[in-house]
Copies of this chain bind each other. A is one copy, B any other.
Amino acid sequence: MRLAELSGRSGVSTATIKYYLREGLLPPGRQVNATTAEYGEEHLRRLRLVRAMVQVGRLPVATVREVLGHVDDDSLGRTVRLGAALWALPQVPEPDADDEHVRAAREEADALLEALGWSNARLLKTISPAYRSLVVAVAALRRLGYRPDAELLVSYARLMHRAAELDLDHVEQQPSEAERVEAAVLGAILVEPVLQALHRLAQEEESARRYGFE
């Protein structure tokens, strides 16, 4: 298809498509003559992926380029390629290791991973931004004077593990490896707002079930 059709089918303006081409976020089309290039379905898919990262994930263009570099590098292992977007999402800053609440939160997070048997997460924890987010979230609770209930944390974690299994099952259903990696990137960006909305709605539903509307 030509640029105009790519624009029409993707809903992205031709000016933005040209910008993405210049920035290397979209691979060049097949040059038909000096002024015309031909684009394929893979361009359409890539364009959707870039828009998801830019518009929904609010990732800066440089970060999108970095994620796509990982996505397209088939010398990388699958865990790294599938995790590329997760690691590029806006992350919490490194917590202060000297802070007493951070130290206690780290111990609690480690005890949780131990209880869950998430040995890979333990391995990953030196580099994983998600581990850091967990420590920061637990430290915030402690700083407010609350100790999270260890049993409740385990229950939440098992639910989230089930969600992650569903995520990856969905990724594995995609027909090609390129599409699997793309689905993983999209999942990392688009699933969280859906889960958050469902959680809030479920809280309302369950509260109304238990206590009525009065």
State the Cβ distance, A163 to closest chain B Cβ, in Å: 5
Residue among B76, B120, B145, B167 making CB contact with A214, cutoff 8 Å: B76
Oligomeric state, in copies: 2
Q: Does A30 touch B at the CB level, under 8 Å?
A: no
Determine the distance from Cα of A129 to Cα of B204 in the docked complex, in whole angstroms: 10
Q: Is the interface on chain A under 10, 10 to 19, 20 to 34, or 35 or more residues? A: 35 or more
Q: Does A63 touch B at the CB level, under 8 Å?
A: no
Cβ contacts under 8 Å, A82 to chain B: 207, 211
Please list 24 pairs of residues, one from A and one from B, whose beta carbons are closer than 8 Å in the complex, sorted by A's number. Answer: A77-B213, A79-B207, A79-B211, A79-B213, A79-B214, A83-B203, A120-B209, A121-B202, A121-B208, A123-B213, A128-B204, A129-B200, A131-B201, A133-B197, A133-B200, A134-B194, A137-B190, A140-B190, A155-B166, A156-B198, A168-B206, A168-B207, A188-B203, A192-B196
Q: Does A186 touch B at the CB level, under 8 Å?
A: yes
Q: Does A165 touch B at the CB level, under 8 Å?
A: yes
Determine the distance from Cα of A134 to Cα of B167 in the docked complex, in whole angstroms: 18
State the Cβ distance, A211 to closest chain B Cβ, in Å: 4
Chain A 38-70: CB-based contact to B (< 8 A → 1; otherwise 0): 000000100010011001100000000000000
Asked if A170 contacts B196 (CB within 8 A), the reply is no
Asked if A197 contacts B130 (CB within 8 A), the reply is yes
Determine the distance from Cα of A197 to Cα of B161 in the docked complex, in whole angstroms: 11
